[in-house]
Each structure stands twice: as structure tokens, then as C-alpha cells.
Chain A
Amino acid sequence: MPSSGIRFFDGRRILAASTHVDIDNGVVESAGTSFSDSALVRVLGPHGWGMVSANSLDISPGKDMDRVLAEGLALARITGDPVTLAEPTRGEHAVPAPGEDPRGLDLEDKTRVLSGIEKAAKLPGIASTRATYIERTEEVFYTDSSGYESRFTITRSGFSVLAVAKRNGMAQMGRESLHTIHGFNLRHQEPMGVKAGETALALLDAGTAKGGRMRAVLDPELAGVFAHEAVGHASEGDLVKEGSSVLAGRIGERIGPAILTIVDDPSLPEFGFEPVDAEGCLTARTEIIRKGMVNAYLHDRETLAALGNGVTGHGRAEAGEPPLVRMSNTFIEAGDRSTEEILAECRDGILLVGSRGGQVDPGRGVFQFNAEYGYLIEKGEKGSMVRDVSLSGEILSTLHGILLCGKERVMHQGFCGKGGQSVPVSDGSPHILLSDAVVGGSGTD
């Protein structure tokens, strides 16, 4: 091994098989399986990292690996950032056994069941339907210069269904999706197709919301996106270390009400589950906000050494890509209020339902996300439906404006992008009430 100048190295290789089915208006557009074999070797030189990414790379000790380490060291020599690593916490959680293992089903079965969900969305008035299935099995092998090794295999799968309703030149869509690590989840899900169709049809008759500042109730899905976008990203140790997070330097500071606890937990068997992180560290729960106070940041080994306040285990990476500090399963802990109490307390405002995704600038502390639809709240009761409503705001003032948390937390699955890498995540929350939300809508009155 060309060890001179190498302080640490590790390698992570992932063999993956990805299956997809795409059914569009009853036509099987494509269905099939693809394969990849990607590895990344990281070498910590005298200062910073040199990394080598390649396909079909053997990362076990030997001549090939020696060559890669020498290459990594040469790359590391142009760096000047004094990187140090915290001691890893070793160990791993067992990958939950799948209910019905999708790997054991043939593609024809999957296509047939998906087709049933797509057909269910085709209600009278629906102009277009589409359903997609994705399944990815990863065999992950990790090794590092201490001799530590870990291996696991995990399959993630799920589906989405889209319906578009049209009338008089107006088009609206409804979309439902469900992803899991617990096995094939398409059976008996035709009601989700129906729901996508019903939403699209209902939105044809929905009005537009008048934008402005108002009280808003977020449903569990959108409140989960809020936890992810507004708090989760800003708690990522790399952003905190770079100085591009509004949560930097605020450990112990009160930034929200005492009812507010926000957690990221990669060890939870939800869609963002990781048995061990991309640096071979045991994954564990981090309470980012505990009872309204900033409690900890999310960390990999490098950011924990630099900042403290938290645990390792939040390094995640796509195959062949470097670990980044990432969220996994992020949620607001349940409170004690019923949904009726929350609507009553809101009095006049808006209920925002579902999510079309969101984005945040954690340095500026500004976030934006879009609900799938909403309902006006009038005199404490759910009123008429509105379409295309969004929410934006400043992280710190919005957190202070959380008034109530509901009793029941629900998780939703998705994918989160950062640094060009996409990883599976889940977000969740009970219903929450915000006192002063900036709601966007195209209605003028």
C-alpha cells in the first residue's frame, strides 16, 4: 500500500439492479431491469480528500486498490483544507425482512398489478392516466483502512399514479405515491388510483386562493416537507460548518415553542432507513430541535469533529458518489391537539394539503414549497377547495409561529436532492398550525 501521506482511506462499492414499469394511458411504455456496479474510494491525504470514482472497481486489498490509493493521494495533494475525522461508532441495524419480496415476483405480475391501479384512476372526466413502478436492490460493501468491513442488501420499491382531468381547456392533476423498504406494496392499492382521479376532478371546480400573510394549517404530508426543508437542511453539519445555515451557532437557543421537537432518525425502518451509513458508522436518532431549543446537528465524521453537538451516522451517498451529510427519516413529533381543535383555533385561514415538493436556501433561511391543493378555513371550519397554493417563509420566524401540533404523526416517502445526488427519504408530522404564513396563490380577490 502506498501508505506514505495517507491518513485514512475507505471504499464503498454498490452493485445495483433497478427495475421500472411505466404505464401511460393503458400502454406499457417500458418495463425492464438495468444493472450498475459503482465504487468510490476516498483517500485522506495530509490535508483534505482525494477521491476516485469508477465502475466495476475491486476495492478489496490488492494491486488494483494500491493503484487507486496512489491516484487518490495524488488528487489529495492539491487540497489545503485541514480535514480531521471523529471516531466512528461501529455497528449496524438489521435490514427488515420484506413482507412479499419483490425480487421473487416476475415483471409480468408487477406490470399487471400496476395496471390495475392505473385503470382505477380512469374515472369519467379523466383525460389521462399514468402509473410507474420502481424497484431498486443495492448490495453495499464498505471497507476502510482500519480493516472494518460491512455488507448489506436492501430493496426499496414503490409506485406513483397520476390522473389529469380536463374541461373547457382547463387541466388539473391528482397524484398519489407510496414507497417502502418492506416489500412489494402494490396489491389492493386501486383506491389510490381512484383518489388521484377524484383529486384531479375536484380541482377542476376549485377556486384560486388569494395570496398573502395568513394563518395556515399544514396537513401531515406538507408539515413533513416543512420539517425537511425548513429545519432538516439547515441542520446538516456540512452547511453549518461552511457558514451557510441560519442554525449555525444556535445550539441551546430557543427557536420555536416548547411543543416543537424535530427529529431525524436513519435507524427508523421507514423509506430513508440506513442500517449503517456511507462511512460505516452506526445510524442513530438525532433530535435537531428538542422542546423548541436547537439541540444537535446532523453529522458525518468530518463535520462532527469540526462542530460537535450530535452523532455520526448521517453520511449518505449514491453509488459511486462521496458521502454527504443527509437527512433520512425526518419528522415533527406528535403533540396533543385534535385536528378539529387545530381548525377551530385557526379560525380564518387556509388548510394546505399534500406536497408537490419544496426547496430551501438554508444560508438565507428562506424556504418555498407547494401544496397539492388546499381548503379555505372559515370560522374554524373547512370550507371550499382551492388549487395551486404554496407556502414560503423565513425559517426562524416561521418556527416561532408554530402554535399547535396535532396528535397523529404520518410519514410520507420521497427523494431528496443535494449536491447532484438523490437519496430516498421520508418526512412526517402531525397537523400543525402556523400563525403568520406567506401563502402564494394566483387569485387576486
Chain B
Amino acid sequence: MYLVEGTGVSAELKRDAVAMATGSRDWGLSIRTIDHGRIGVSSTSSPEKWEECLGAAVASMSLATPQEWKGLPGPAELRRDAPSFDDRVIPEPQAAQDFLRGMLDGAKGHPGAKITSGSGSLSRSEVTLANSHGVLYTTRRTEVSCSLETISGQSTGSEFAHSPFLEIDPRWVGERAAFFATHSAEGRPMETGQYDILLSPVALAQFLGNIFVPALSGRTVHAGRSRLGTLLGQEIMDRRISLFDDPFARGMGATAWDAEGMPAARLDFVKAGVLASFAYDLKTAYRYGASPTASAVRGGPAGGPSIGVHNLVLDGPREEIASERALYVHDVVGAHTANPVSGDFSVECQNPIWVEDGGFREPVRKAMLSGNLFDAVREIGGIGAGSRIVGNSILPCVRFRSLQVIG
């Protein structure tokens, strides 16, 4: 049984006025039943309907194809250093309003940018997992976030920050959103051709999340839908790159136990360019005789566990990557339309800007970026300094070599 209870508050800007404030109380229960390798799931948001939910889980179990099942985990000694809670986070309207004020303040440095919308939010939740093998774990989580959208003429700019801790900087978010809108307003057309590309952590997260992470799932691999499926032990990325899931990193997915009650642990997907492992939940591991990797997360149909990542980290030797001329891409439009099987993508760049000598240079009006992600990561131009939290990942800026851009 997986139970989530939470409260949150958010406030939203329309132009530069607060238009809306929302308080929310969430309650959700999901039940999984397993009998002779048949797995059933159901969920409900009504405490009084738990019996109906249990009945639906049992009914669901009877339809599932039976599979090899070696049992749920029992209680284990858990690490206590998964950073997921900050007691300074208190979901009150005033705090959300302060985020909005901070962003408005930060945006003032670029008066050419008009605010179109923005939001600030804080939430607390408590997650409890219990199973018939005696596991009873509870974790408290907090989350804060803010985001701002701006426009200057027909040039848009946006930025956001989120964290489990009261450590986001709304002024920085406001300044960056307004900078991108005003700077890109002077964008000039560029020539179609092959160029080095600097993907921001936000743009990189879009590519990894839509193409690479699904290909690392044990389920995708064994279903024959992963281009990486047969490449274990082989070099699939530039040797400078390591890619791993670290549930104890300071990110949005920090946790000491996964969604099935397995003790969480670091999982190395790619070590110095070499494909080291795929992600497994219990069901997939038992079915294919693989080792479980504590990679279960919640969010699938009916709230059942599915394979995912907690905090996806891309790391490696850091270097100055903007000294030689390249096209910086702040974000991309349409990454979800990429081909997750082949890795081919074609996306429109948001705020493409030439970089050189370590700084931003001339903005570009329009750039469409095409390529294949699995090919592009084989030889990169370097990993930049610093990293930031983007959803369930913690990523740096990465320089890619010679990608096709249509101006």
C-alpha cells in the first residue's frame, strides 16, 4: 500500500499582478496485490473507498498474466541521509507571494521585457509505504518552485527553479527570464549548416528524458524497443561522460527507499562512456532474471509502480566549453515528438544565442536542430561547470559537436 498525503499553496501572476492563489489538500492511496505471480493494482483518492479499491486490485490481479515472482522486500536498515525535507518550507500564501515579488524584482533589470505569467508554490507531503512482509516506511517531502514567462516584442523568455529546499532564488529566475526575452528580441537569421551546440541543463533534460531514459529501462530493453538493449559493456557515450541515478543527491527525487520498498542505492548507467546497467523494478527483474536496482517510482496507470529514475545525474570532468564559438540553446520546443526508438529528433530552439570567449554574443532569430541523440553523445565537446536541478535530474551544460541546424 502506498499512501500520499499533502498540502500545498500556489500563487499565480497574470502580467505583473497576482491573479490567483490556490490551496490544495491531496490524499491518494494505491494498493497492489500479488498472488502466484499475478499482479493487480488500483488506486483511490477517497479514504472511505479503500475497500472498493482493494476489491478492484484483486479483480485486476485475476487478469494479469502470471509471472515469476520472488517476493516483496522485507524491512531493511535504511540510510538516513536522503535529503527530501526542509522544515523551513511552510505552505502559506504569503510565502508564495514572496516568490512572485522576488521574480518581479529580478526582472526589473531588463525593462524591455513584459511579464506575461508566473507562479510560485510550496508544498509538504508525507509518503507511507507498507507491505505484507513487514515494511512500514514513512518519508516527509517538501517542494518549492517558481517560474516566470516574459515577452519583448515577439521574443519570449522563460526561466524556473525548483528544489526540495527553501533555496531557490526568485530574483535570479526573474532576471534570467527577462534577459532571454530582451536579448533574443534582436535575433538575426542564421545560415543552415553544421554547428557545435551548447545544450543548457533544461534543454539537455528534455532530450535525456524523452529519448535516453526510456532506453535505459529494463522493460524497454527486454521488450526489444531500446536501441541500447544489446550494448551492455560497450562504449555508447563519450568517455568523459558518466550517467547515474543518485537517490541521495540534493534533487527532487531524493529518497531512501524506492516505490516498492527496496532500499535505494546509486545506480551507474554509464561509467566513463561504457554502458554499465539498466534500471529494473521487481517485476521486470524477476521476469527476466535480472538484479533489481530499486528503480521503482510511482505514477503509472492506477498508481502502480513503474521503472524510472530518482535523481538522474550526468557528470564528468568539467571544463570551459564556451570559449570557442557555438550556438547556445536555452530550451527546445517539441522534444516529446522525438523518435524514442531510433533516437532521431528535430526540434525548434528557444533563445538560440551564439556564445564565444565564455559569454553570450549575438542572438539568433530561428533555429531548428536535428540529429540523433544516441549518435550525438558518442563524441561531445565537453561538460561545463556547475549543475542544476531540472525535474528528476541534476544536469550541467554540455557541448555537442557538429549538429545540423536549419536557419
Chain B: minimal CB distance from A123 (Å): 14
Known pairs A20-B302, A79-B19 / 7 extra A-B pairs, C-beta < 8 Å:
A48-B18, A56-B27, A244-B116, A244-B156, A320-B24, A359-B337, A388-B346
Number of interface residues of B (CB under 8 A): 81
Q: How far is the CA of A75 from the CA of B97 in the complex (A)?
A: 11
Chain A: minimal CB distance from B204 (Å): 17
Number of interface residues of A (CB under 8 A): 88
Stretch of B47-55, B170-178, B236-244 with 4 or more beta carbons under 8 angstroms from chain A: B47-55
B320 interface residue (CB < 8 Å to A): no
Q: Determine the chain A residues whose CB is within 8 A of the CB of B93 once the complex forms.
A: 74-75, 78
Chain B: minimal CB distance from A204 (Å): 10
Determine whether the beta carbon of B116 is less than 8 Å from that of A52.
Answer: no
User: Which B residues are within 8 Å of any A CB, using their own CB?
Assistant: 9, 11, 14-15, 17-28, 30, 39-49, 52-53, 56-57, 59-60, 63-65, 67, 93-94, 96-97, 114, 116-117, 149, 151, 154-156, 192, 219, 223-225, 227, 300-304, 333-334, 336-339, 341-342, 344, 346-348, 350, 366, 368, 370-372, 404, 406
A262 interface residue (CB < 8 Å to B): no
Chain A: minimal CB distance from B306 (Å): 9
User: Which of A27, A35, A128, A387 is B52 in contact with, Cβ under 8 Å?
Assistant: A35
Determine whether the beta carbon of B342 is less than 8 Å from that of A171.
Answer: yes
Give a binary string over A401-424; 1 marks a CB under 8 Å from any B CB, 0 the rest: 000000000000000000000000
Give a binary string over A312-336; 1 marks a CB under 8 Å from any B CB, 0 the rest: 0000000010100000000000000
5 A-B pairs closest in CB distance? A32-B60, A440-B346, A370-B337, A368-B334, A390-B346
Determine whether the beta carbon of B43 is less than 8 Å from that of A35.
Answer: yes
Give a binary string over A360-391; 1 marks a CB under 8 Å from any B CB, 0 the rest: 11011111111000000000000000011110
- When C-beta atoms are compared, the residue in chain B nearest to A439 turns out to be B406
A259 interface residue (CB < 8 Å to B): no
Q: How far is the CA of A170 from the CA of B25 in the complex (A)?
A: 48
User: Which of A30, A387, A392, A394 is B302 in contact with, Cβ under 8 Å?
Assistant: A30
Q: Determine the chain B residues whose CB is within 8 A of the CB of A20 once the complex forms.
A: 301-302
Q: How far is the CA of A420 from the CA of B23 in the complex (A)?
A: 16
User: Which of B116, B301, B347, B370 is A242 in contact with, Cβ under 8 Å?
Assistant: B116
- When C-beta atoms are compared, the residue in chain A nearest to B304 turns out to be A30
Determine whether the beta carbon of B64 is less than 8 Å from that of A75.
Answer: no
Determine whether the beta carbon of A29 is less than 8 Å from that of B64.
Answer: yes
Q: Determine the chain A residues whose CB is within 8 A of the CB of B336 once the complex forms.
A: 357, 359
- When C-beta atoms are compared, the residue in chain B nearest to A112 turns out to be B63
Determine whether the beta carbon of B63 is less than 8 Å from that of A34.
Answer: no
User: Which of B42, B45, B339, B368 is A356 in contact with, Cβ under 8 Å?
Assistant: B339
A28 interface residue (CB < 8 Å to B): yes
A66 interface residue (CB < 8 Å to B): no
For this complex, 23 residue pairs linking A to B, each with C-beta atoms less than 8 Å apart, are A30-B40, A30-B60, A31-B63, A32-B40, A34-B43, A34-B302, A34-B303, A49-B20, A50-B20, A55-B26, A55-B27, A56-B47, A72-B23, A75-B9, A79-B18, A107-B59, A111-B63, A211-B192, A211-B404, A357-B334, A364-B350, A388-B346, A392-B333
Q: Determine the chain A residues whose CB is within 8 A of the CB of B15 once the complex forms.
A: 81, 242-243
Determine whether the beta carbon of A361 is less than 8 Å from that of B333.
Answer: yes
Q: Determine the chain B residues whose CB is within 8 A of the CB of A246 once the complex forms.
A: 154
Q: Determine the chain B residues whose CB is within 8 A of the CB of A37 once the complex forms.
A: 44-46, 49
A295 interface residue (CB < 8 Å to B): no
Q: How far is the CA of A190 from the CA of B404 in the complex (A)?
A: 39
Q: Determine the chain B residues whose CB is within 8 A of the CB of A86 once the complex forms.
A: none
Q: How far is the CA of A388 from the CA of B334 in the complex (A)?
A: 13
Q: Determine the chain B residues whose CB is within 8 A of the CB of A442 once the complex forms.
A: 344, 346, 370-372, 404
Determine whether the beta carbon of B334 is less than 8 Å from that of A30.
Answer: no
Q: Determine the chain A residues whose CB is within 8 A of the CB of B155 once the complex forms.
A: 364
Q: Determine the chain A residues whose CB is within 8 A of the CB of B42 once the complex forms.
A: 32-35
Determine whether the beta carbon of A171 is less than 8 Å from that of B225.
Answer: yes
- When C-beta atoms are compared, the residue in chain A nearest to B342 turns out to be A171
Q: How far is the CA of A24 from the CA of B218 in the complex (A)?
A: 13
Give a binary string over A5-41; 1 marks a CB under 8 Å from any B CB, 0 the rest: 0000000000000101110111111111111111000
Determine whether the beta carbon of A367 is less than 8 Å from that of B333.
Answer: yes
Q: How far is the CA of A122 from the CA of B94 in the complex (A)?
A: 57
Q: How far is the CA of A367 from the CA of B348 in the complex (A)?
A: 8
A294 interface residue (CB < 8 Å to B): no
Q: Determine the chain B residues whose CB is within 8 A of the CB of A52 once the complex forms.
A: 22-24
Chain B: minimal CB distance from A193 (Å): 16
- When C-beta atoms are compared, the residue in chain A nearest to B223 turns out to be A128
User: Which of B27, B47, B56, B117 is A34 in contact with, Cβ under 8 Å?
Assistant: B56
Q: Determine the chain A residues whose CB is within 8 A of the CB of B27 once the complex forms.
A: 55-56
Determine whether the beta carbon of B19 is less than 8 Å from that of A55.
Answer: no
Q: How far is the CA of A442 from the CA of B368 in the complex (A)?
A: 11
- When C-beta atoms are compared, the residue in chain A nearest to B94 turns out to be A78
Q: Determine the chain B residues whose CB is within 8 A of the CB of A25 once the complex forms.
A: 223-224
User: Which of B14, B301, B304 is A241 in contact with, Cβ under 8 Å?
Assistant: B14
Q: How far is the CA of A366 from the CA of B20 in the complex (A)?
A: 28
Q: Determine the chain B residues whose CB is within 8 A of the CB of A369 once the complex forms.
A: 334, 337
A127 interface residue (CB < 8 Å to B): yes
Determine whether the beta carbon of B46 is less than 8 Å from that of A212.
Answer: no
A83 interface residue (CB < 8 Å to B): yes
Q: Determine the chain A residues whose CB is within 8 A of the CB of B53 once the complex forms.
A: 34-35
Q: Determine the chain B residues whose CB is within 8 A of the CB of A426 once the complex forms.
A: none
A183 interface residue (CB < 8 Å to B): no
Determine whether the beta carbon of B151 is less than 8 Å from that of A363.
Answer: yes
A438 interface residue (CB < 8 Å to B): yes
A342 interface residue (CB < 8 Å to B): no
If A56-B48, A366-B366 touch, does A107 touch B63 (CB 8 Å cutoff)?
Answer: yes
If A20-B302, A440-B368 touch, does A31 touch B23 (CB 8 Å cutoff)?
Answer: no
Determine whether the beta carbon of A30 is less than 8 Å from that of B23.
Answer: no
- When C-beta atoms are compared, the residue in chain B nearest to A48 turns out to be B19
- When C-beta atoms are compared, the residue in chain A nearest to B100 turns out to be A78
Determine whether the beta carbon of B14 is less than 8 Å from that of A242.
Answer: yes
Q: How far is the CA of A362 from the CA of B17 in the complex (A)?
A: 21
Determine whether the beta carbon of A358 is less than 8 Å from that of B337.
Answer: yes
Q: How far is the CA of A31 from the CA of B41 in the complex (A)?
A: 8
Chain A: minimal CB distance from B123 (Å): 12
Q: Determine the chain B residues whose CB is within 8 A of the CB of A127 once the complex forms.
A: 224-225
Q: How far is the CA of A331 from the CA of B261 in the complex (A)?
A: 48
- When C-beta atoms are compared, the residue in chain B nearest to A355 turns out to be B337
Determine whether the beta carbon of A368 is less than 8 Å from that of B224.
Answer: no
Q: Determine the chain A residues whose CB is within 8 A of the CB of B65 once the complex forms.
A: 26-29
Determine whether the beta carbon of A370 is less than 8 Å from that of B346.
Answer: yes
Q: Determine the chain A residues whose CB is within 8 A of the CB of B341 once the complex forms.
A: 164, 171-173
